[in-house]
Every structure is written in structure tokens, then in C-alpha cells.
């Protein structure tokens, strides 16, 4: 499958280039040229394992561009998945549990205890295969803007991977202390971490600018480890199929039944993977976009107006503190076409606003529903879920659970909540929800364990003892200069 730019269908590249470049030359995002021709064998879902599902999805998207000349590309992807996840995940990468009248798929059992690991444990392997396919010896420098979780996961995935560098920019004071320590303690010799004086949107805009601006000498290329990179989205498609497969295997649903997903959303990457799953044939009723207090997306889905001219809040679900949701561009492409997408993106850049027309909004709403939860509702939801059902969730997952509670009367069929982070990653807020105060985040981890008895993920144990190895701060307009420096050093 080839990939084209969401802003210009004439810009077409193969899988290797889409993965290595991360973003199209016109600033658009890559999508497969013909999603309509792609199919997942849904009828086999009751007999397929999670790893097989992931290998099937990867083959469908990248099979024509990677492992060139191989006789059995599926087997190549399958062993790649085994290698990547065998190290990264202790058991099931997306266990499905039932809590009350909903299902929850826990996506946080990877090394950094958030769902970003599902893709970022694989992305470095895909990058290596892309380099092989292109017969390229160039160093690949992966730029990463993070609201907290992508940074740690990217560093974990790319640390000391030969032929790559990974550069992370996170908003100073915009992440949790646990998230920050995960990043600044990275020991990889190819890792660079910076705090940005600004919020996530500043970091993301700076990185996108650097991707277009930085002068590259011979032997080096820039890419992205953010969900603008198609290699980030594709692995995430797998857990939508896997959740369905688990429900089938347990007899909770029948083949063909439509199910819903509620997704805590920031950059619209995770939920967009759900849209890809739908286009590949998964029976989905609604994809429900759950926003926190920064509810630019739920407002958009309500009104058709996307407007970032509004106050930005630092909330207790910080990984969703985002106003410019990059991956919405991919949905616009499918609904409005490339030309209008380019216009909307131009308007967003120049005026911070665009408005889609009524028909376009109606088409989006056939699939997407929306809702939001403010900070107090998040805390209340955590408390209720724990006290009534004995189930401990983090603040991001709580946003989705609250939106599910609000919406469940309108949803038909089973509903799966995507649980995106371990409660221990946001211990202070989770403790507060349970009526306990502990402002030292590291102490809060121990206290939460004492109170609930829930196991602390391995990746977070002893986190406060890890040495700070990166302590540099950059101004938001200084990102390009920093990247230029890193690109120059060999």
C-alpha cells in the first residue's frame, strides 16, 4: 500500500518513506491511498491471538513496503511483534476486564505504564525495517513532542537503538513528576530530553516547524515519534480488534454484533486508530471521544467549529491537555477530501479556527459521539469506580468512564472503555479522589499501594531514586536551533 498526504493526493510515498519521514513534505499527514481496499479477516477473530491480530494489521498497512523480497511477510511481522512485545510486555498487551456494565481494556502494561508503549515498543523495529527497505545508512532522528507519556515511551523504545536518535520536548510544569522523571532519567546514549517553556501545543508546533526547517547535512534524516507518524497509529488499531476478539471468545457478544468504544482523547490518535479499525471491517457502533476540561474536540463534534482561541488548562489528566489535535486532520481528509482539508488547516494556522459544513459534521457524527469531564468529575468518578466496584482507574480513564456514564442510555450494544494509563502514574490525583492528601508524587505511589493493595507497575518502582541525567530547558522558539545542534553531532 502507498500513502498519500491528507493535503494533496498527488504526494504519494511508499511505506518505508512514510515511516522514515513521519510527515508529508507539504505538512500533511500520511494515510493509505485506498483504505477501501483494505480488509481484516473479522470472521477469524474468535480464533486469533493478540499478536496475530497485530501482525495481520501491520501486514495490511506496511506489507508491500517493508520486508521487500520476503516470501512470507506476515511471518516476518509476526516474529517482529514477538520480539518487540516479548521484551516490552510481561503478558497480554491489552487485557480486557469487566467492571459493572462496561468493559475496560487496560493498555498500560508496557514499560512506561501508559498506552503509548503499545505503538512505541514496535515503532523502532518498523524504523529499522524501513531503513533496510530504503537501503539507507542515514541516521534517523526521531523528534517527539510530548504531553507526558509519549516522551517516556519513545525514550524507552528508541534508547540505544543503533542508527537512531530520539529527541523529546515536554512542557515544563505540564507533566506529572513521575512522567518527568521517567524522561529525564533516560540513560540511552542516543537520547536527548528538553523541557520547553510553554505548553504541549508550543512543543508540538515547535517540533512540526523543526521537521520542515532544520537544515540536514548528508547522512541524517528527521522523523517523528508522535502520532502524526503513521507508524504510531497502525499498531494501535490492533487492540480494537483484540477487544472484540476477547468478547467473542468469552461469549459476551455474537459475531457481527456492533460494539462501542469510549476513548480518552487528546491528539485524536488513539481514537483515530479506532476509525481505521472500523474502515477495515470491525463492527463498531460509536466511537465516543472523551475530552477533559480542554474540550476543543467535544465542542468541535458538537458544533462543527474547531477553535483554539480559548483558555488552556493544566488539568489532572495532563496527557490530554492539548488544543491542537493533529490527527483530526486525518478524519477531515476522509470526510471532506484533501483540498478542503488543506484549506481548513491553513485557516487553523492563520486564524486558529475553522468550520466544517453541516453535511460533513453529520457524516462524522454517524460514527463519532462526544462528551467531556471536568477535574472534579474526574475525581468523583475515580472514587465511585473504586468504592462501588473495587476497580482503581487513573484520571484519563476516569474521563472516559464519566462520559460513558453520561452516554450509556444512548449507546446500544456492549461498550469498551480504553484505559490509557496506570493509576500509579497519577498517584497524587488518584489519592486525592480517594480522600487522601499527598503532594509528593513519589510518596503518593507508596501511599496508594498501601491503601489499595493494587500492584505498582515494575516500570514505576523506585522511580524517585533514578538519577536526573537531562536538565536542559529551551524557549518555545528555540526548538529548531536545538535540533540543528543535535543533527550536526555524530
Ligand X SMILES: *Cc1c(COP(=O)(O)O)cnc(C)c1O
Q: Which residues bind ligand X (CB under 6 A)?
A: 114, 116, 149, 227, 264-270, 319-320, 396, 420-421
Closest CA to 234 of 112, 65, 405: 65
CB of 55 or CB of 393, closer to ligand X: 393
Neighbouring C-beta atoms of residue 415, cutoff 10 Å: 21
CB 73 to ligand X: min, Å: 27
CB of 223 or CB of 326, closer to ligand X: 326
Exposed/middle/buried for residue 410 (C-beta within 10 Å: 0-12, 13-18, 19+):
exposed
326 within 8 A of 31, measured Cβ to Cβ: no
Spatial separation of the C-alpha atoms in residues 134 and 121, rounded to whole Å: 22
Long-range Cβ contacts of 350-355 (<8 Å, 24+ apart): 352/307, 352/308, 352/309, 353/305, 353/306, 353/307, 353/308, 353/309, 354/305, 354/306, 355/304, 355/305, 355/306
CB of 30 or CB of 268, closer to ligand X: 268
CB of 227 or CB of 480, closer to ligand X: 227
- Using DSSP bridges, classify how beta strands 353-355 and 305-307 pair: parallel, antiparallel or unpaired: antiparallel
CB 297 to ligand X: min, Å: 9
330 within 8 A of 272, measured Cβ to Cβ: yes
CB 296 to ligand X: min, Å: 12
Mapped to the 3 state alphabet, what secondary structure does 181-215 carry?
Answer: HHHHCCCCCCEEEEEEECCHHHHHHHHHHHHHHCC
CB of 29 or CB of 133, closer to ligand X: 29
What is the DSSP secondary-structure string of 99-116?
A: ETTEEEEE---STTSBTH
Report residue 104 as a C-alpha cell.
475496560
CB 319 to ligand X: min, Å: 3
Altogether, the residues listed in the chain come to a count of 490
CB of 227 or CB of 298, closer to ligand X: 227
Spatial separation of the C-alpha atoms in residues 59 and 403, rounded to whole Å: 34
342 within 8 A of 24, measured Cβ to Cβ: no
CB of 54 or CB of 418, closer to ligand X: 418
CB 330 to ligand X: min, Å: 12
CB of 396 or CB of 432, closer to ligand X: 396
CB of 245 or CB of 267, closer to ligand X: 267
Amino acid at each position: 500500500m502507498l500513502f498519500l498526504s491528507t493535503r494533496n493526493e498527488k504526494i504519494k510515498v511508499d511505506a518505508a518513506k512514510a515511516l522514515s519521514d513521519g510527515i508529508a513534505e507539504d505538512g500533511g499527514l500520511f494515510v493509505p491511498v485506498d483504505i477501501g481496499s483494505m480488509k481484516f479477516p473479522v470472521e477469524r477473530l474468535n480464533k486469533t491471538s493478540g499478536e496475530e491480530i497485530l501482525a495481520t494489521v501491520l501486514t495490511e498497512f506496511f506489507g508491500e513496503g517493508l520486508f521487500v523480497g520476503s516470501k512470507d511477510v506476515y511471518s516476518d511481522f509476526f516474529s517482529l511483534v514477538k520480539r518487540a512485545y516479548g521484551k516490552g510486555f510481561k503478558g497480554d498487551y491489552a487485557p480486557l476486564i469487566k467492571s459493572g456494565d462496561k468493559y475496560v481494556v487496560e493498555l498500560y502494561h508496557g514499560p512506561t505504564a501508559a498506552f503509548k508503549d503499545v505503538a512505541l515498543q514496535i515503532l523502532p523495529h518498523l524504523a529499522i525495517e524501513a531503513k533496510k527497505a530504503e537501503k539507507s545508512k542515514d541516521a534517523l532522528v526521531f523528534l517527539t513532542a510530548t504531553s507526558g507519556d509519549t516522551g517516556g515511551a519513545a525514550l524507552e523504545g528508541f534508547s540505544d537503538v543503533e542508527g537512531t536518535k530520539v529527541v523529546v520536548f515536554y512542557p515544563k510544569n505540564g507533566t506529572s513528576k513521575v512522567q518527568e522523571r521517567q524522561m529525564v532519567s533516560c540513560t540511552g546514549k542516543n537520547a536527548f530530553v528538553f523541557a520547553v517553556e510553554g505548553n504541549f501545543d508550543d512543543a508540538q508546533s515547535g517540533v512540526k516547524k523543526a521537521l520542515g526547517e532544520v537544515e540536514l547535512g548528508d547522512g541524517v534524516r528527521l522523523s517523528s515519534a508522535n502520532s502524526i507518524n503513521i507508524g504510531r497509529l497502525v499498531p494501535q488499531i490492533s487492540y480494537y480488534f483484540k477487544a472484540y476478539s476477547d468478547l467473542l471468545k468469552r461469549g459476551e457478544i455474537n459475531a457481527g454484533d456492533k460494539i462501542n468504544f469510549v476513548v480518552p482523547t487528546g491528539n485524536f490518535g488513539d481514537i483515530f486508530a479506532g476509525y481505521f479499525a472500523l474502515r477495515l471491517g470491525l463492527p463498531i457502533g460509536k466511537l465516543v471521544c472523551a475530552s477533559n476540561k480542554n474540550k476543543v474536540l467535544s465542542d468541535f463534534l458538537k458544533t462543527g467549529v474547531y477553535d483554539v482561541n480559548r483558555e488552556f488548562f493544566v488539568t489532572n489528566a495532563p496527557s490530554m491537555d492539548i488544543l491542537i489535535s493533529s490527527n483530526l486532520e486525518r478524519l477531515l481528509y476522509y470526510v471532506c477530501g484533501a483540498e478542503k482539508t488543506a484549506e481548513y488547516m491553513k485557516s487553523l494556522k492563520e486564524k486558529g479556527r475553522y468550520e466544517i459544513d453541516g453535511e460533513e459534521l453529520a457524516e462524522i457524527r454517524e460514527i463519532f459521539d462526544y462528551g467531556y469531564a471536568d477535574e472534579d468529575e474526574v475525581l468523583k468518578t475515580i472514587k465511585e469506580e473504586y468504592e462501588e466496584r473495587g476497580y482503581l482507574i487513573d484520571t484519563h480513564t476516569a474521563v472516559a468512564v464519566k462520559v460513558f456514564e453520561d452516554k450509556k442510555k444512548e449507546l446500544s450494544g456492549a461498550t469498551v472503555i480504553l484505559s490509557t494509563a496506570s493509576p500509579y502514574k497519577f498517584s497524587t490525583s488518584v489519592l486525592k479522589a480517594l480522600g487522601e492528601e499527598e503532594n509528593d508524587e513519589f510518596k503518593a505511589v507508596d501511599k496508594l499501594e498501601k491503601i489499595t493493595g493494587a500492584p505498582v507497575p515494575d516500570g514505576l518502582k523506585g522511580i524517585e531514586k533514578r538519577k536526573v541525567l537531562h536538565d536542559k530547558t529551551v524557549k518555545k522558539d528555540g526548538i529548531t536551533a536545538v535540533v540543528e545542534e543535535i543533527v550536526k553531532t555524530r
